[in-house]
């Protein structure tokens, strides 16, 4: 489907979810202990057929031990469960419909901070995310979250093994 740049992965094409609406990436960085960043462009579809309860943008691992960048309602949030704790950080604002929006999260254990960005601007913060329990687990784009799928598109997913700076996030959001 048309993306922010070139083509994108489209999800939730039918009102009923078929349980196969995700991309599983085989080549991916190992997210061991330390800093990391996740970045993606997201386009939520509108209309009467779409229920915005929750939808996965990017996730790694299972619900009990992993992380998820997702939308809850239409608000982005990041959740991570690991060996040494849990973190949840949620934006107070909804993403617009029918518009490409850059969403990113950075986790910096040195600064003890997880930052959620929307459109290149910090939207919410929380203490640093825990070390992933399964740093080599499957990385999925889209897919099911609590029986719901993301109704929209995801493009330009990027994963970094360091916490990007505010300037780097702003630059990505400006591309």
Name the pTM for this structure.
Answer: 0.81
Band (pLDDT 50/70/90 cuts) for residue 143 is: low
Residue pLDDT, tens place only, 44-86 = 886 545 555 567 888 877 656 678 898 888 899 998 887 777 8
Tell me, yes or no, whether 1 lies in a domain: no
Separation of CA 133 from chain center: 18
Tell me, yes or no, whether 4 lies in a domain: no
Tell me, yes or no, whether 9 lies in a domain: no
Tell me, yes or no, whether 83 lies in a domain: yes
Separation of CA 171 from chain center: 18
For residue 18, pLDDT beyond 50 = no
Tell me, yes or no, whether 25 lies in a domain: yes
Q: How many domains does the chain have?
A: 1
Task: Report the CATH number at residue 111.
Answer: 2.60.120.200
Residues of the domain holding 161: 20-173
Q: Are 122 and 95 in contact (CB under 8 A)?
A: no
């Amino acid at each position: 489907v048309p993306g922010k740049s070139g083509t994108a992965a489209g999800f939730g094409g039918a009102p009923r979810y078929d349980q196969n609406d995700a991309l599983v990436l085989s080549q991916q960085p190992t997210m061991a202990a330390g800093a990391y960043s996740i970045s993606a462009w997201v386009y939520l579809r509108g209309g009467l057929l779409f229920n915005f309860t929750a939808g996965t943008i990017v996730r790694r691992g299972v619900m009990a031990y992993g992380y998820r960048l997702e939308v809850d309602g239409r608000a982005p949030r990041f959740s991570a469960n690991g060996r040494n704790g849990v973190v949840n950080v949620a934006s107070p604002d909804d993403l617009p419909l029918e518009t490409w929006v850059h969403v990113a999260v950075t986790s910096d254990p040195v600064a003890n901070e997880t930052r959620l960005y929307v459109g290149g601007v910090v939207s919410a913060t929380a203490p640093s995310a825990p070390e992933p329990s399964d740093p080599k687990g499957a990385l999925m784009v889209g897919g099911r979250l609590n029986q719901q799928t993301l109704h929209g598109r995801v493009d330009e997913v990027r994963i970094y093994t360091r916490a990007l700076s505010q300037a780097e996030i702003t630059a990505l959001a400006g591309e």
